[in-house]
Amino acid sequence: MKGVLLVNLGSPDSTDPEDVKRYLDEFLMDGRVIDLPKWLRTLIVKGIILNTRPKKSAEAYSRIWWDEGSPLIVLSERLRDKVDDMTAVPVVLAMRYGNPSIKAGLQELYDKGVKEVLLMPLYPQFAMATTETILVLAEEVRKQHFPEMSFTNVPAFYNHPDYVRVLAESIRDSLEGKDWEHLLFSYHGVPERHIKKSDITKSHCRIDGQCCKTPSPAHQYCYRHQCYETTRQVAEYLELKQGTYSTSFQSRLGIDPWLKPATDKTINGFAEKGLKKLAVVTPAFVSDCLETLEEIGLEADEEFKERGGEEFHLIPCLNDNEAWVKVIARWVDEWAHQPEVRVN
């Protein structure tokens, strides 16, 4: 029997600093997120970050938390329920960090009799810190606990015409009747080092602005290329004029160089140059979360207005948007109707 495991990032169980600390511990001790030697990662995460960040992060989570729980979890559950209603095969949700775990998700599928799993990381663009860590952990759990299961992995869908269309149309619908001068595509950032590590050619990615425009097999795993390509294709679909849109990277943590330009500096710069009406879309996230609702929806909005900006429109993520649900359900059905292919 076939079934689907949707996997998102995860959230703390509550806004209690102890729960946030436990979640950040699991998240930041992942060697594909903070990719330093284990002794150094332990020193930085357990010795520094976990002593200072949980309180600050817990306050940020409190500003966006819903009665039902974490927006990321609640929105992912809504997506799962709607896709499940539309497909013939069971659809289960898991989180890379926190709950429900990947092991719990696979167990749920197993208990329903599922042996062939469509594994769908809920990230449009591939990154070592997101897609890769999900695929690696899921495979470890499969080998250890469910050896008779097999996986088919949904690849990054940053340029899939269905995804580009629903994202573009959701932007158009959300901005309908609103006045805006510039549309900023803000993606979660990663350290530049991650891009080089994921370069399968070992020589293509120089992060110089040109490499991502030059065709290369490296782009199958190049987060930077994939972000710029999502922007380019959505802008083309919406027929946006050059100069009315741009790309930036948010949520930098630590002192290493991260992808540039940084969203906060970009937005503040716009306001300082006299831009009054800004729209922001966050395509690295399929569900609204701390990084969209708080960092952009509250903090960036406030800073933009403090510098003279007047209107700030944050476009919601695809969340449980009907057109998006239909696209995922179609991808699932197309896979479910294929003859059996064992991947593992």
Ligand X SMILES: C=CC1=C(C)c2cc3[nH]c(cc4nc(cc5[nH]c(cc1n2)c(C)c5CCC(=O)O)C(CCC(=O)O)=C4C)c(C)c3C=C
Q: Which residues bind ligand X (CB under 6 A)?
A: 9, 11, 24, 33-34, 53, 57, 70, 72, 123, 127, 129-130, 188, 190, 223, 251, 253, 284-285, 289-291
Q: Write out the binding residues for Fe ion, residues 214-243 only, by CB under 5 A.
A: 222, 225
Between 53 and 219, whose beta carbon lies closer to ligand X? 53
Q: Is 190 an interacting residue with respect to Fe ion (CB under 5 A)?
A: no
CA-atom Rg of the chain in angstroms: 20
**b/e 280-312 (16+ beta carbons within 10 angstroms → b):** bbbbbbbbbbbbbbbbbbeebbeebeebebeeb
Residue selected from 205, 227, 259, 314 as contacting Fe ion according to rule CB under 5 A: 205
**Residue 231 and residue 216: Cα distance in Å, rounded?**
18
Which residue is listed with tokens 């197993």?
A: 110
3-state secondary structure of 92: strand
Instruction: Choose from ligand X, Fe ion, none: what does 57 bind? Cβ within 5-8 Å by kind.
Output: ligand X
H or E element in which residue 248 lies:
strand 245-250
| Number of amino acids touching Fe ion (CB under 5 A) | 5
Shorter beta-carbon distance to Fe ion: residue 217 or 274: 217
Nearest CB to ligand X, comparing residues 126 and 180: 126
Contact partner at residue 205 from Fe ion, ligand X, none, CB < 5 to 8 Å by partner kind: Fe ion
Rounded to whole angstroms, the Cα distance separating 42 from 118 reads 34
- Residue 133 CA to residue 182 CA, distance in Å, equals 34
Check if the beta carbon of residue 104 is closer than 8 Å to that of residue 94.
yes
Least Å distance between CB 312 and ligand X?
20
Nearer to ligand X, 135 or 336 (CB): 135
200 contacts which partner out of Fe ion, ligand X, none, CB within 5 to 8 A by kind?
Answer: none
- Residues of the shown chain interacting with Fe ion in the complex, contacts defined by CB under 5 A: 205, 211-212, 222, 225
